Amino acid sequence: MQGLTSEILFEKFEIIEVLKKDEHAGVYLANHIYLSKKIILKVLNTKKLPDHSIVERFKREAKILARLDHQNIIKVLDFGMSKEFFYISFEYIEGESMRNMLKTKSLSLEQKEHLMIQLLKGLDYAHKNQIIHRDIKPENIFIDKNLTLKIGDFGLALSSEDNFVTNPYSIVGTPSYMSPEQVRGAKLTPQSDLFSTGVVLFELFSGKNPFLRDNVSLTLNEIISYDETNLPSIIKELPQNIQDILLLLLKKKIADRVQSAEEILTTLNVNLEQPTIVVNNFNSEEKRSKLAFAFIAIFILIVGGFVLSQIFSTNGNKDDLTNQQQQNNNTSSTQNDPQPPINKDSIQETSELPLTQENKDGNELNSTTQNNTQNKDSEPKSLGLGGLVVECLPWAEVFIDGERMGVTPNVSIRPINLQAGEYTLKLVHPDYPVFSQTIKVNAGEVKNVRISLDATMGFVKCFVHPFGDVYINGEKRGQIPSPDFLKVKPGPVRLIIRNNDYRDIDTAFYIRAGDSLKLKFSFKKP
């Protein structure tokens, strides 16, 4: 794809590897600079496309996936336009497609059932959100090293709000996974996805596709002439519960076919609200060896720790511990007193998309933790004690294991003294989601935790003609057009743009932490 030569794309994606590239499109493994995480970036050059429907497919995929938030559906992190380029960034899955897995891995029955349950859960969630995938096949199903499954490629999907840029009844999909009604070009329903799922599961458990033939014409003919009465004899070698599921999914007539993925999950006694438990991954022998080694190491550490504790309990400096405990009591009583007003000059404001900020020394403030090596004089010297310094932008109340320690920046002045161990750090600010993170404090060290609460928010920028007042979840947030992004708490968002001379723009969408959405609207006369 011509025109993209920089290692940094769209000022926020650092290219790590080119996965696929041609004149019109590219797929990259990249680092999202703001989120500090690997992502998959799809880029489309809209200038020289032979078929404009490809752009609509890209946009449809981004909009649909932005609405779906489920552990078994691949997540869209960001999408937008930059000059002639349309881009979408997806979460990076360290794994492979089900197609590649079927070719290279040998799975147990338990592992196959584990994948089946996740596929049905993801589909059930999509269907309940009025989304029909239309192209369920092993190539569009991705599995990581822990056997977590995610459904991807919603480029052909239809939603109840779709404006049918392409004919909704046209024949789209992959021939050997199409339902009979899909082959005929009839109206599709969630049950069409369920038939395709039945074909995928048939292949997962038996190793072959029941309809695949030498060419497309023969394959389509096989689906049209499919006689479901022959199915029981074909799958008789499979476990009975799998046979029952395939017989429900692969009914030729929609009226006879199971109505929803939830019905199948109910027969399997699967709780939709509970996450699917991870079973052993492919490297089971290696894992068993590592677990055995880990148990031995833990045993040695326990015995060694017991011996050391006996030594220290005899020879330790009790006066130091007593003095330190007294200091902790004094610190706690001081920090629970009412705090003075926050100095607003210490709160940095910016009109950019500030997922990370910088302090005066140029150090990045983000949600990572690091050892403070610059303040050796403040390190606790008492046995088993460590220190914690919390820095947060813009500000927050600090809680450790549920106990309020004060408000930043006050608690950033000197370390909070804690016994070595793991703690739950919670930061509370009324305008942001609650931030929670497990931290580990080591004896004799001061740990510096630096947080930007903006990383917990989503960001929305609206473009409208001529202008309007913006309301997000009922709260007025200013007037647009405006150069600023609006911070939005993650979750469902209802957006209303109002101009008394026109009809209200009223829409809803779902936003996640780190999302940055650019939305364009035009007012219409009453």
Residue 515 CB burial class (10 angstroms; 0-12, 13-18, ≥19): buried
**DSSP bridge partners of 145:** none
Q: Where are the domains of the chain?
A: 8-91, 98-267, 357-455, 459-522
**Ranges 246-255, 381-390, 430-439: which has the least confidence:** 381-390
- Banded model confidence at residue 240, pLDDT cuts 50, 70, 90: very high
CATH architecture of 459-522: Sandwich (2.60)
Alpha-helical runs (H) found in 87-128: 98-104, 109-128
The answer on pLDDT for 399 being more than 70 is: yes
- Banded model confidence at residue 289, pLDDT cuts 50, 70, 90: very low
- pLDDT (0 to 100) of residue 412: 66
- Strands (E) in 336-402, as ranges, are 357-358, 364-365, 369-371, 385-393, 397-400
- pLDDT (0 to 100) of residue 227: 93
- Banded model confidence at residue 229, pLDDT cuts 50, 70, 90: very high
- pLDDT (0 to 100) of residue 287: 46
The answer on pLDDT for 436 being more than 50 is: yes
Q: At 426, give phi and psi (nearest 5°).
A: -125, 130
> What CATH number was assigned to the domain covering residues 98-267?
1.10.510.10
**Ranges 35-44, 51-60, 88-97: which has the least confidence:** 51-60
**Closest to 509 in 3D by CA, of 37, 31, 6, 65:** 65
Q: What percent of the chain is predicted at pLDDT more than 70?
A: 73
Which distant-in-sequence residues (6+ apart) come within 8 Å of 164 by Cβ?
A: 158
Residue 269 CB burial class (10 angstroms; 0-12, 13-18, ≥19): exposed
Which distant-in-sequence residues (6+ apart) come within 8 Å of 340 by Cβ?
A: 410
- Mean pLDDT in residue range 218-227: 91
Q: Bigger pLDDT: 265 or 35?
A: 265
> What CATH number was assigned to the domain covering residues 357-455?
2.60.40
The answer on pLDDT for 145 being more than 70 is: yes
> What CATH number was assigned to the domain covering residues 8-91?
3.30.200.20
Residue 65 to residues 21, 45, 70, 77: CA-CA distances in angstroms?
A: 23, 21, 10, 9
Q: By three-state DSSP, how is residue 179 classified?
A: coil
Please, are residues 392 and 451 in contact by the beta-carbon 8 Å criterion?
yes
Please, are residues 1 and 19 in contact by the beta-carbon 8 Å criterion?
no
Q: At 242, give phi and psi (nearest 5°).
A: -70, -40
Give the tens place of pLDDT for each residue, 361-373: 333 333 333 444 3
Give the tens place of pLDDT for each residue, 511-526: 888 888 888 888 888 7
The answer on pLDDT for 396 being more than 80 is: yes
Residue 465 to residues 81, 502, 519: CA-CA distances in angstroms?
A: 18, 11, 12
Give the tens place of pLDDT for each residue, 319-344: 443 444 444 444 443 333 333 333 33
- pLDDT (0 to 100) of residue 423: 93
- Mean pLDDT in residue range 379-406: 82
CA 524 to chain centroid, in Å, comes to 36
**Ranges 96-105, 303-312, 370-379: which has the least confidence:** 370-379
Same topology, domains 8-91 and 98-267? Answer is no
| Beta strands at 458-465 and 516-522: parallel, antiparallel or unpaired | parallel
Compute the distance between CA of residue 233 and CA of residue 147 in angstroms, rounded to an integer: 31
